[in-house]
Amino acid sequence: MTDILSRRDVQFMLNEWLDVSRLAGRDRFAGQTVDDWADVLELAEQVASEQFAPHNRKADANEPEIGEDGRVVLIPEVAEAMGVLGETGLMAAAMPEKVGGMGLPMTISSAIFAWLHGANVSTAAYAMLTAGAANLLLANGSEEQIETWVEPMVAGRFFGTMCLSETQAGSSLSDITTKAVPQDDGTYRVFGNKMWISAGDHELSENIVHLVLAKIPGGPAGVKGISLFIVPRFLLDEDGGPGERNDVVLAGINHKMGFRGTVNTVLGFGEGEHRPGGEAGAVGYLIGEPHRGLAYMFHMMNEARIGVGLGATALGYTGYLKSLRYARERPQGRPLASKDPADPQIPISEHSDVKRMLLAQKSYVEGALGLDLYCSTLVDDEATAPTEEERNRAALLLEILTPIAKSWPSQWCLEANSLAIQVHGGYGYAREYDVEQHYRDNRLNPIHEGTHGIQALDLLGRKVTMHGGAAFGALYETIGETIAEARAAGGEAAELAGSLEAALARLAEVTGILWADRNPELALANATVYLEAAGHVVIAWIWLEQFLAAAGKDGDFYDGKRQAARFFYRFELPKTAPQLDLLAGLDRTTLEMEDDWF
């Protein structure tokens, strides 16, 4: 097996910390066992290692291109890997059995995708987008739409995309200009262009189901006038298979520094190259009610945000494991106490600064994976917890943790990739080693599905204040429960709890200061600093949880967990103090900067 993830760590998180066995007793997962899930994860590791990892570098070196016939050309291994993934059913692991899925907990599905992302994030993106599009339709589509579009997606025959951004709009979705004109038969004709559409055109599947944001003429202004449409690449024939070509045109391919194996496209809708029935416009089908498209799309966007964080984590994790193996195998230098040049060299993993870099990586990636899997348990609890109170609490926690789960791994697991390059020395930036590609791939994740700045505004401007601060209160209370448990355990756990308690209290205090005057412009001026500080507090909490789960257990694995927790508390958590002090001072430096001063 390749260095993708630590199977032992995944088992620890799922079984010894999160105790996924509790999910097996719920009605939705009736008949499933922990042993079943272990078998599925072993299969995921095998598929990742044998089908995804081997072509990771090849896909990076051979970017998608437009062939002479106007079709997207990908290396054949991508289709082969996706075919195997479809045959195993892993892509639809968490989808209901009634549509052909496996009906597994989201927590297990996330662990599956962690293996796939770590092995080959570019190929895994096709699966992630398809699963997200299918889940959106399951939540918001009609029964006919689910039967028509979701079931072929679950079977791996159709793939899916999300079409939001436009060249002139970017993340400002209120400014999109794509329009959807209603027709007498209940369909719509869609006109416009979409930019940055991952998996927007290819020959991997029989059809591509585009989920497109557009405005119906005469609707409300801004985001309140956005609707959501199914716009397939091919219209369907009487048997539900691909028929006439829809007026969806590949206008170009974007060339990226990473994720190169995932084709990223510019799409034109209603360009006139393929006129279904001889009429202008791409045929679209309204999802749900008019003008509620952005609310529906957030179902996929939030799932994608957690998925981006998971992908960032997996890239950081595989880079960490590869740098660890390299450090253990690379002899260089001698102990500082050595006086004899004839003494044998030691592996660089024995040098203190290399230990620092490896420990930092370990603390980032294992902390991030813990957050990813914890958020996945919240998805399961929101849907299946036995009481309404538990379901509502899970929903609140998921709301406030989603921007952190997207942004923190995207920032700090990217830093792990940077440290992996550093551990390799000059070899780290040579293309013969994987770690430089992992860095390039991961550098896209701080931008994917909303930048740090957007996530920061969401966290501090919406999630912290929602329902009168109920989500922040739920998080504060939940972290407090862990602190109380650690204090009761005594010893080092209690010491860590004391540090976390102080940081949490300061975060709460500063949150109050920021919103005391109810001035959004001032409160949000340094929202990104708030996101970084809050993220570090949350990861410190995740590490205290893992520290407690390892308590009283002997062996190198558990010793490593404890040491990584110590590192995070001593090297990382203290970074929040000056950040929170800056925020408490209501600093106006960025707010008062004039454009002409740059």
- Over residues 306-362, the pLDDT tens digits come to 999 999 999 999 999 999 999 999 999 999 889 898 999 999 999 999 999 999 999
Average pLDDT (216-240) is 96
Give the three-class secondary structure for 255.
coil
The pLDDT of residue 420: 98
The pLDDT of residue 339: 87
For residue 374, which phi and psi values (nearest 5 degrees)? Answer: -60, -45
Residue with tokens 């080092």: 492
pLDDT surpasses 80 at 282: yes
pLDDT surpasses 70 at 135: yes
Confidence band of 2 (pLDDT split at 50, 70, 90): confident
SS3 sequence, 119-179?
A: HCHHHHHHHHHHHHHHHHHHHHCCHHHHHHHHHHHHCCCEEEEEECCCCCCCCCHHHCCCE
* Mean pLDDT, rounded, of the chain: 97
The pLDDT of residue 375: 98
Catalytic one among 449, 532, 545, 572? 449
The pLDDT of residue 262: 98
Confidence band of 273 (pLDDT split at 50, 70, 90): confident
pLDDT surpasses 70 at 46: yes
The pLDDT of residue 171: 82
pLDDT surpasses 60 at 1: no
The pLDDT of residue 370: 98
Share above pLDDT 70 across residues of the chain, in percent, rounded to a whole number: 100
Half-sphere exposure of 558 (CA within 13 A, CB side): 11
CA distances from 591 to 126, 520, 579, 595 (A): 40, 12, 17, 11
Mark whether 50 is an active-site residue. Answer: no
Confidence band of 115 (pLDDT split at 50, 70, 90): very high
For residues 273 and 486, the model is more confident at 486
The pLDDT of residue 169: 85
Average pLDDT (406-420) is 98
Cα–Cα distance measured from residue 311 to residue 352, given in angstroms and rounded to the nearest whole number: 30
| CB-based contact 405:282 (threshold 8 Å) | no
Name the nearest CA neighbour of 178 among 186, 187, 168, 201. 168
Give the three-class secondary structure for 113.
helix
Which residues contact residue 422 at a Cβ distance below 8 angstroms, ignoring those fewer than 6 apart? 357, 428
Give the three-class secondary structure for 253.
strand
